[in-house]
Amino acid sequence: MKKLLEQRGKIAKSPRETFRMAALENFIDDPEIWFDFLKKRNLTVHTYNEHDAEVVIDICPSFSAEVKKFLTSIGVFHDIP
């Protein structure tokens, strides 16, 4: 997303700013969903407990669906099962 934004002359200085700009450019529907993915990802960086791992695993289907929508919106995928 960040590279696509840069190609459009938009410079995001943080992941959250990237998601906000991506929504404005219609790359994604809702930056709040991506903020949650970021929060869950950050859980995994310095934490090693089973509950946090389960929380992250639980969002995998949702994350996968959102990534597919993003890739479709930028023309990478056309027919995604």
Mean local confidence (pLDDT), 69-77: 88
Q: Maximum distance among all alpha carbons in the chain? A: 42
Residue 50 has pLDDT above 90, yes or no: no
d(CA 49, CA 70): 30
pTM for the whole structure = 0.82
**pLDDT for 63:** 95
How many other β-carbons are positioned within 10 Å of the β-carbon of residue 41? Answer: 13
